[in-house]
Amino acid sequence: MKLISAPLSMFGAKTEIAAIEKGLSVEVEFVPFSLASFYQPKHEEVLRINPKAQVPVLIDGDLEIFDSTQIFEYFEDVRPEPSLWPTDLGDRARSRLLELKSDEVFFPNVVRLFPQNQSAAERAEIETAKGALMSFYDEMNSLLDKTGTEYLAGPYSYADIAFYMAQFFASFIGFPVPKSNAHLLAWRDRAGSRPAVTQVVGKMRAYLNENGVSTDGF
Protein backbone atom coordinates (compact mmCIF):
# COMPACT_ATOMS: atom_id res chain seq x y z
CA MET A 1 0.00 0.00 0.00
CA LYS A 2 1.11 3.56 -0.65
CA LEU A 3 -0.10 6.44 1.49
CA ILE A 4 0.29 9.90 0.01
CA SER A 5 0.51 12.43 2.83
CA ALA A 6 2.47 15.53 3.84
CA PRO A 7 4.95 16.35 6.61
CA LEU A 8 2.42 18.48 8.50
CA SER A 9 -0.85 16.84 7.49
CA MET A 10 -2.85 16.06 10.62
CA PHE A 11 -5.28 13.97 8.53
CA GLY A 12 -2.38 12.08 6.97
CA ALA A 13 -0.85 11.55 10.43
CA LYS A 14 -4.11 9.96 11.62
CA THR A 15 -3.82 7.32 8.91
CA GLU A 16 -0.09 6.77 9.46
CA ILE A 17 -0.73 6.14 13.17
CA ALA A 18 -3.56 3.71 12.38
CA ALA A 19 -1.39 1.78 9.89
CA ILE A 20 1.37 1.38 12.50
CA GLU A 21 -1.12 0.36 15.23
CA LYS A 22 -2.41 -2.33 12.89
CA GLY A 23 1.03 -3.50 11.76
CA LEU A 24 0.22 -2.74 8.12
CA SER A 25 3.09 -2.30 5.74
CA VAL A 26 2.50 1.10 4.15
CA GLU A 27 4.97 3.12 2.12
CA VAL A 28 4.49 6.81 2.93
CA GLU A 29 5.17 9.39 0.21
CA PHE A 30 5.05 13.09 1.05
CA VAL A 31 3.70 15.62 -1.44
CA PRO A 32 5.54 18.92 -1.96
CA PHE A 33 4.88 21.09 1.10
CA SER A 34 6.52 24.08 2.75
CA LEU A 35 5.56 26.45 5.54
CA ALA A 36 5.79 29.29 2.99
CA SER A 37 3.77 27.91 0.06
CA PHE A 38 1.87 25.08 1.77
CA TYR A 39 0.49 22.47 -0.66
CA GLN A 40 1.85 23.97 -3.89
CA PRO A 41 2.53 22.61 -6.41
CA LYS A 42 -0.14 19.94 -6.09
CA HIS A 43 0.94 16.34 -6.41
CA GLU A 44 -0.20 14.74 -9.71
CA GLU A 45 -1.59 11.57 -8.16
CA VAL A 46 -3.50 13.55 -5.53
CA LEU A 47 -5.06 15.70 -8.26
CA ARG A 48 -5.99 12.60 -10.24
CA ILE A 49 -7.46 10.63 -7.34
CA ASN A 50 -9.04 13.23 -5.06
CA PRO A 51 -11.39 15.82 -6.58
CA LYS A 52 -10.79 17.84 -3.39
CA ALA A 53 -7.03 17.80 -4.17
CA GLN A 54 -6.21 16.92 -0.57
CA VAL A 55 -4.07 14.39 1.25
CA PRO A 56 -4.21 11.70 2.53
CA VAL A 57 -4.72 9.41 -0.44
CA LEU A 58 -4.26 5.64 -0.24
CA ILE A 59 -3.35 3.38 -3.16
CA ASP A 60 -3.57 -0.40 -2.78
CA GLY A 61 -3.18 -2.07 -6.17
CA ASP A 62 -6.04 -0.81 -8.30
CA LEU A 63 -7.86 0.64 -5.29
CA GLU A 64 -7.46 4.39 -4.88
CA ILE A 65 -9.24 6.14 -2.02
CA PHE A 66 -9.05 9.41 -0.13
CA ASP A 67 -10.19 10.91 3.18
CA SER A 68 -8.67 9.83 6.49
CA THR A 69 -11.90 8.31 7.83
CA GLN A 70 -12.46 6.29 4.64
CA ILE A 71 -8.87 5.06 4.96
CA PHE A 72 -9.53 4.05 8.60
CA GLU A 73 -12.48 1.95 7.41
CA TYR A 74 -10.37 0.26 4.75
CA PHE A 75 -7.59 -0.53 7.25
CA GLU A 76 -10.20 -1.99 9.60
CA ASP A 77 -11.52 -4.25 6.83
CA VAL A 78 -8.14 -5.48 5.59
CA ARG A 79 -6.67 -5.92 9.10
CA PRO A 80 -9.51 -6.38 11.64
CA GLU A 81 -7.10 -7.07 14.54
CA PRO A 82 -6.24 -5.20 16.62
CA SER A 83 -9.62 -3.54 16.22
CA LEU A 84 -9.54 0.22 16.43
CA TRP A 85 -13.31 0.52 16.70
CA PRO A 86 -14.64 -0.67 20.08
CA THR A 87 -16.52 -3.99 20.04
CA ASP A 88 -19.37 -2.75 22.29
CA LEU A 89 -21.94 -1.29 19.89
CA GLY A 90 -22.62 1.79 22.01
CA ASP A 91 -18.92 2.53 22.43
CA ARG A 92 -18.42 1.92 18.74
CA ALA A 93 -21.13 4.42 17.78
CA ARG A 94 -19.70 6.94 20.29
CA SER A 95 -16.21 6.42 18.91
CA ARG A 96 -17.38 7.03 15.34
CA LEU A 97 -19.20 10.19 16.41
CA LEU A 98 -16.22 11.49 18.40
CA GLU A 99 -13.92 10.83 15.47
CA LEU A 100 -16.27 12.86 13.27
CA LYS A 101 -16.61 15.64 15.86
CA SER A 102 -12.86 15.90 16.20
CA ASP A 103 -12.42 16.34 12.43
CA GLU A 104 -15.51 18.37 11.67
CA VAL A 105 -16.43 20.30 14.81
CA PHE A 106 -13.14 20.86 16.70
CA PHE A 107 -10.61 21.04 13.87
CA PRO A 108 -12.37 23.68 11.70
CA ASN A 109 -11.94 26.08 14.63
CA VAL A 110 -8.23 25.26 14.73
CA VAL A 111 -8.03 26.07 11.01
CA ARG A 112 -9.86 29.37 11.64
CA LEU A 113 -7.15 30.28 14.16
CA PHE A 114 -4.22 29.64 11.80
CA PRO A 115 -2.74 33.16 11.43
CA GLN A 116 -2.39 32.93 7.66
CA ASN A 117 -6.06 31.95 7.24
CA GLN A 118 -7.41 35.06 8.87
CA SER A 119 -9.17 37.46 6.54
CA ALA A 120 -10.70 40.55 8.19
CA ALA A 121 -14.05 38.77 8.53
CA GLU A 122 -12.42 35.72 10.08
CA ARG A 123 -10.42 37.86 12.52
CA ALA A 124 -13.72 39.11 13.90
CA GLU A 125 -14.62 35.52 14.70
CA ILE A 126 -11.39 34.63 16.50
CA GLU A 127 -12.92 34.88 19.96
CA THR A 128 -15.79 32.61 18.89
CA ALA A 129 -13.34 30.03 17.52
CA LYS A 130 -11.20 30.16 20.70
CA GLY A 131 -14.32 29.77 22.83
CA ALA A 132 -15.40 26.78 20.75
CA LEU A 133 -11.99 25.10 21.23
CA MET A 134 -12.09 25.64 24.98
CA SER A 135 -15.68 24.33 25.22
CA PHE A 136 -14.70 21.24 23.27
CA TYR A 137 -11.76 20.61 25.62
CA ASP A 138 -14.13 20.99 28.59
CA GLU A 139 -16.59 18.55 27.00
CA MET A 140 -13.89 15.90 26.45
CA ASN A 141 -12.55 16.45 29.97
CA SER A 142 -16.03 15.97 31.48
CA LEU A 143 -16.60 12.88 29.34
CA LEU A 144 -13.42 11.24 30.66
CA ASP A 145 -14.30 12.28 34.21
CA LYS A 146 -17.84 10.87 33.91
CA THR A 147 -16.96 7.55 32.25
CA GLY A 148 -13.70 6.96 34.13
CA THR A 149 -12.31 5.29 30.99
CA GLU A 150 -8.71 5.65 29.84
CA TYR A 151 -9.73 6.61 26.34
CA LEU A 152 -12.53 8.71 24.84
CA ALA A 153 -14.93 5.92 23.89
CA GLY A 154 -13.74 3.11 26.19
CA PRO A 155 -10.83 1.21 24.63
CA TYR A 156 -8.23 3.02 22.52
CA SER A 157 -9.86 3.77 19.18
CA TYR A 158 -9.84 5.88 16.03
CA ALA A 159 -11.52 8.64 18.07
CA ASP A 160 -8.37 8.96 20.19
CA ILE A 161 -6.11 9.01 17.14
CA ALA A 162 -8.20 11.75 15.51
CA PHE A 163 -8.47 13.95 18.60
CA TYR A 164 -4.83 13.45 19.58
CA MET A 165 -3.76 14.87 16.21
CA ALA A 166 -6.35 17.67 16.27
CA GLN A 167 -5.29 18.87 19.73
CA PHE A 168 -1.62 18.59 18.69
CA PHE A 169 -2.29 21.13 15.93
CA ALA A 170 -4.29 23.33 18.28
CA SER A 171 -1.25 23.33 20.62
CA PHE A 172 1.03 24.15 17.69
CA ILE A 173 -0.93 27.34 16.98
CA GLY A 174 -1.02 28.30 20.66
CA PHE A 175 -4.20 26.71 22.04
CA PRO A 176 -3.19 23.63 24.05
CA VAL A 177 -5.43 21.72 26.46
CA PRO A 178 -5.68 24.04 29.48
CA LYS A 179 -4.20 22.97 32.83
CA SER A 180 -7.71 22.95 34.35
CA ASN A 181 -8.61 19.91 32.18
CA ALA A 182 -6.69 17.34 34.25
CA HIS A 183 -8.53 14.28 32.89
CA LEU A 184 -7.92 15.36 29.33
CA LEU A 185 -4.25 16.08 30.03
CA ALA A 186 -3.84 12.58 31.48
CA TRP A 187 -5.53 11.19 28.34
CA ARG A 188 -3.15 13.27 26.19
CA ASP A 189 -0.13 11.77 27.98
CA ARG A 190 -1.56 8.26 27.70
CA ALA A 191 -2.41 8.51 23.99
CA GLY A 192 0.79 10.42 23.25
CA SER A 193 2.98 7.74 24.77
CA ARG A 194 1.73 4.99 22.43
CA PRO A 195 4.67 3.98 20.21
CA ALA A 196 2.69 4.57 16.98
CA VAL A 197 1.75 8.08 18.09
CA THR A 198 5.26 8.90 19.32
CA GLN A 199 6.73 7.75 16.01
CA VAL A 200 4.43 9.80 13.75
CA VAL A 201 4.28 12.89 15.96
CA GLY A 202 8.07 12.65 16.42
CA LYS A 203 8.51 13.06 12.65
CA MET A 204 6.25 16.15 12.72
CA ARG A 205 8.14 17.65 15.64
CA ALA A 206 11.42 17.09 13.76
CA TYR A 207 9.98 18.80 10.66
CA LEU A 208 8.81 21.78 12.72
CA ASN A 209 12.13 22.03 14.60
CA GLU A 210 14.11 21.86 11.33
CA ASN A 211 11.96 24.74 10.09
CA GLY A 212 12.64 26.88 13.12
CA VAL A 213 9.43 26.13 15.06
CA SER A 214 9.93 25.07 18.67
CA THR A 215 7.74 22.25 19.95
CA ASP A 216 8.92 22.48 23.55
CA GLY A 217 5.53 23.45 24.96
CA PHE A 218 3.55 20.55 23.50
* Interface residue list for ligand GSH (CB under 6 A): 9-11, 39, 53-56, 67-69, 103
Question: Helix, strand or coil for residue 151?
Answer: strand
For ligand GSH, the closer CB: 69 or 215: 69
Name the residue nearer to ligand GSH (CB basis): 68 or 181.
Answer: 68
Residue 177 C-beta: closest distance to ligand GSH, Å: 20
- Taking the least distance from each CB to ligand GSH, the nearer of 77 and 189 is 77
Give the integer Cα–Cα distance in Å for 170 and 173.
5
Strand-by-strand arrangement of the 63-66 sheet: 27-30, 2-5, 57-60, 63-66
Name beta bridge partners: 27: 2
* Identity of the residue, 30 or 39, whose beta carbon is nearer to ligand GSH in the bound complex: 39
CB of 9 to ligand GSH, least distance (A): 4
**Least spacing, CB of residue 123 vs ligand GSH, in Å:** 21
* Residue among 51 and 212 whose Cβ is closer to ligand GSH: 51
Distance of alpha carbon 193 from alpha carbon 197, whole angstroms: 7
